[in-house]
Structure 1
Amino acid sequence: MAERKLFAGHAIRRLRFQLGVTQAAMAEALEISPSYLNLVERNQRPISAALMLKLAETYDFDPRRLAAAEPGGGAEALRRRLADPIFADLAIDRHQLEEWLAGAPDGAEAFARAYDRMGGGGSAMPAPGAAQDPGPQVRRAIERWRNHFADLDAAGEALADELRMAGEPYGAMADRLRVKHQLAVRILPAEVMGDALKRLDLHARQLQLSEALDPSARAFALAEQLAVEARDEIEALVRGAGLDRAAERPFRRHLTAYFAAAVTMPYARFLRACEASGYDLELLQRRFGASAAQVAHRLTTLQRVGARGLSFFLMRFDRAGQVSKRYAGASGSALVEAAVPCPLWNAYDAFARTDETAVQLVELEDGARAFTIARCVHPHGGAPGGVRPRFVIALGLPAAEAGTLAAARGVDLAGRAAPIGLGCRACTRLACPQRSAAPAGRAAAGSERERGVTAFGFAGD
């Protein structure tokens, strides 16, 4: 698979300003021409591998900062923000966006931070003292790294190798907690745990797990507890994200779960299994003793330099279409930005096909095509007899990358795709019989003498 070109002029220019050197002086140190460095800083040339290595050698610069430092998360992330209906009358095209990033990267970053601080849209700032949703900040922090945290993967893989030599994974993790951290693991009756599925009792030096957890969830809980061994790496990422205090906790929780996945599904072994099986989800579950949700989340993280997996994105939503998780990963797909997933997307069918996956080739308004795989999952609930939650986990990737997937066998990836949108308020497809509202910012249109396929007609472009 061809490598993506990396444009990171903003990061280079910021480094130069921090060092207090001119373009000519930096160009001389890097053994390139000042004019070429100027083009790189203006994002008119990508960062070459040779230049990346020279930066690392000359300035002790971590190359991973290049991918993480795109203003506002990069052009695609800014484009998704500008798709908000409050900007519908501005008609900012891709060329203008690229000029903005090249000419005023700090302004683009400031816009992204302000938009995210407002909770991802709206026409006014929150009232003083009002609680703010930390979700957009956390998502932005994750997307800056394309949900791939190399240090956590390396630490998790090293620990997994140690545990592998110590025997069966669950027993090895329990022994490590007991010997190294003086924590015993106890499985307690559901009625004793109540609504809690996991509890750390430091007074009794116990990690207490509910019997309601299945084996994959118990193993993952032990791996999360072992994240204490990667505390330095996790805290460095939290500090570097520059989040509000309210957003630090969910981001730390995400990184802890990321480390647990790196332990239970070590990167190199997991990627080899993916490629050998055609990313067969059920086989991956059995091989790594993981749940469908755990495997799906892991698939969005496979972006190690020199050993990349496919560019999966992920959404999790309930039967009302309320989205509780969304990761764009390296896919750049706008589909994850849908406020409410389009009802024409057959991912909803997975609620009725609880033991099967629902696959579909879809096409968005801008012509982007994706292959999607959806499955219903049942996270563990609380007390016995309580509500049993149900969600759909929907994975997707660009259709051009889906040819090797086991789930795509027999599907004509160049054939007709289902036309879907990003929710009625963001979709401008005409004559959609499923439409439930006119697009935001569009005037209603209709005639007393004529009725179309939808009652929510609107003025076209």
Structure 2
Amino acid sequence: MADAKLFAGHAVRRLRRGAGLNQLVMAETLAISSSYLNLIERNQRPLTAALLLRLAETFDFDPRTLAASEPGGGAEAIRRRLADPRFADLAIDRAQVSDWLSAAPDSAEAFARAFDGMGAGGSAPGPDPIDAVRREIERWRGHFSDLDSLAETRSDDLRAGSGDLYGAVAERLRVTHQLSIRILPVDVMPDTLRRLDLHARQLQLSELLDPASRTFATLFQLGQIEAKAEIDALVKGAGFADRVSERLFRRHLTNYFAAAVMMPYARFLRACEATGYDVELLQRRFGAGFEQIAHRLTTLQRVGARGLPFFMIRIDRAGQASKRFSGASASPLTEAEGRCPLWQLHNAFERPGYLVRHLVALDGEGRWFTMARTVHRQGVRVGGVSGEFVVGIGLNAALATPLAAASGIDLKQGEATAIGLGCRACTRPNCPQRSAAPQSRALIFNDRERGVSPFVFAGD
């Protein structure tokens, strides 16, 4: 995919002010006109590759921070916050949001932080560590370049001597780090899947882990050792206010490293493009689970070699989301707290192991092609409670043509199911599945009529 244009006026302005320069002096330093610099700072012109390089050389900074520092996560993230019912009467459009980000990026960031710290009723319950970590992941659009490159190099090293990745990792842990791997029976580890016993110099794994999970567990341990410097730098740069967020983010990054070794970037992207992003085929090729493949698809945002912008969500039977990654998709389907029962994401529970495809239409947010399948937690014995979830992935339907799973579906003109973002946020009228009235609309009562839905509201 062609790289998106980089509009980073807020970051350039912050860089200039931090250096104590006015626009004229900075423009002269960069050998451009002050009027051109002014247009860049107001996001009316994108940064060219040549100018980006000149900025990096002149002011000694990491160019990736320009793309990873959009106030409040960028225009789409700000718009999702403004869709809250508390702002329903303001009718703020896309142009206003863009103007706000351009003219006052710091105030937009302040609004985002304040909003994220507020409860649905306007109270401030305190920061949620999981939300803080999600926000940091989305700030990077799910892709951590340095960590990914290190994992790719390590993957090449491990595979150079053996086609058995698990065996190669086990050997590296034994020879380089004096850690042996021991598979223990469930009676010895009844409630634990992985344990590091430093006294015995053992990584102990439960016999209940399947081969993909066993490989992932060994790579997680390798990442804790060999990717520590890169992970430490990312955690420090996130600037979390509490230790819980730091620990959650560190775990995410270590998982990221493990997945990136199992599915090294260049090889994985080539396989995706060659197979039409055939998830089941990718599972077999890389010895990974469905959820591991799904998550990896959200991270393919390397500069110059981007994959399709997928999102991922994992829900339980109650509809609660335990994982949400929007990557570069900017999909509201991962941001909404509620989900529409008409979305066949939920239907996958009734078809275990089967890939459920669905073309949906979101009011004002275009069409989305989604795929979903059940997954189960590792480590459950016969007679125990099995953790069952559905993992859904998807992307904008306009980009889904290359997908093998989309074959035979008219993504542009075909029938798409109209869905919302949960009943409280949805304003579609006459929905027979509606369970609650939208928060942003006043209810209308007519004792002489009864419609399909028990809720009639202003704007119908």
TM-score over 0.5 (shorter chain): yes
- Name the counterpart of 2:166: 170
Contact 1:220 1:260 in 2 (8 A): yes
Paired residues for 1:280-359 under 5 Å: 280-359=278-357
Aligned partners of 1:56 and 1:63 also within 8 Å: yes
In structure 2, the residue matched to 1:406 is 404
Contact 1:117 1:136 in 2 (8 A): no
Q: Distance in 1 between matches of 2:62 and 2:205?
A: 40
In 2, are the aligned partners of 1:195 and 1:382 still within 8 Å (CA)? no
Gap runs ≥5 in structure 1: none
Which residue of the partner structure matches residue 369 of structure 1? 367
Pick one of 101, 123, 136 that aligns with 2:131: 136
Q: Which string of whole-angstrom CA distances, capped at 9 and with x for unpartnered residues, describes residues 410-439 of structure 1? A: 111112211111000011011111111010
Count of matched residue positions in the alignment of Structure 1 and Structure 2: 456
Q: Which amino acid aligns with 2:95?
A: H
Paired residues of 2:360 and 2:417 also in contact (CA < 8 A): yes
Partner deviation per Cα, 1:348-401 (whole Å, 9 max, x = no partner): 111111121010111101041111011111121456532101111110001111
Q: Is the 8 A contact 2:8 2:47 kept in 1?
A: yes
CA distance in 2: counterparts of 1:416 and 1:313, whole angstroms: 22
- 1:235 aligned onto 2:222: no
Q: Do the aligned residues in 1 keep the contact of 2:240 with 2:246 (CA within 8 Å)? A: yes
Distance 1:322 1:265 in 2: 28
Given residue 396 of structure 2, which amino acid in structure 1 is its aligned partner? Answer: P
Counterpart in the other structure of 1:418: 417
Confirm or deny: 8 A CA contact 2:3 2:304 kept in the other structure.
no
- Which residue number corresponds to residue 448 of structure 2? 449
Following TM superposition, where does structure 1 have runs of at least 4 consecutive aligned residues deviating by more than 6 angstroms?
Answer: none
**Structure-2 separation of matches of 1:413 and 1:453:** 29
Change in Cα spacing, 1:122 to 1:50, as seen in structure 2 (3 Å) is farther
Following TM superposition, by how much is the alpha carbon of 1:273 offset from its aligned partner in structure 2, in angstroms? 0.4
The superposition leaves residues 118-166 of structure 1 with CA deviations (integer Å, 9 ceiling, x where unpaired) of 36x441112xxx6x42121111100111000000110000100100012
Pair 1:432 & 2:427 matched: no
Greater shift after overlay, 301-310 or 20-29? Answer: 20-29
Pair 1:150 & 2:145 matched = yes
| Separation (CA, whole Å) in 1 of partners of 2:340 and 2:293 | 24
By how many angstroms is 1:330 displaced?
0.6
Matched ranges for 1:240-251 at <5 A: 240-245=237-242, 246-251=244-249
The answer to whether the aligner puts 1:46 opposite 2:41 as a matched pair is: no
Deviations for 1:285-344, whole angstroms, at most 9, x for unmatched residues?
000000000000000000001110001001110111111111111111111122122111
Partner of residue 58, structure 1 = 58
State the partner residue of 1:99: 99
Output the CA distance in 1 between the equivalents of 2:233 and 2:382. 40
Shift of 1:87: 2.5
C-alpha distance 117-242 of structure 1, shift in aligned 2 (>3 A): farther
Root-mean-square deviation (CA), in Å?
1.4
Contact 2:174–2:180 (8 Å) recurs in 1:
yes
| Conserved? CA contact 2:209–2:379, under 8 Å | no
* Separation (CA, whole Å) in 2 of partners of 1:138 and 1:396: 22
* Conservation of the 8 A alpha-carbon contact between 1:369 and 1:417: yes
Preserved CA contact (<8 Å) 2:353 2:375: no
Determine the structure 2 residue equivalent to 1:33. Answer: 33
Q: CA deviation at 1:85?
A: 2.3
Q: Tell me if structure 2 keeps the 8 A contact 1:282–1:292.
A: yes
Runs of 5+ consecutive residues of structure 2 not aligned to the other structure: none
Partner Cα distance (2:153, 2:359) in 1? 38
Give the share of equivalent positions with the same residue, in percent. 65
Which piece of structure 1 moves more, 379-388 or 336-345?
Answer: 379-388
Cα distance in 2 for partners of 1:139, 1:294 equals: 18
Q: Which residue of 1 aligns with 2:215?
A: 219
Displacement of 1:43 in angstroms is: 1.3
Measure, in 1, the Cα distance between the counterparts of 2:59 and 2:442: 55
Q: In 1, are the aligned partners of 2:312 and 2:334 still within 8 Å (CA)?
A: yes
Gap change, CA 1:155 and 1:122, over 3 Å in 2: farther
1: CA distance, partners of 2:132 / 2:299:
19
Other structure's SS at 2:358 match: strand
What amino acid is aligned across from residue 173 of structure 1 in structure 2? V
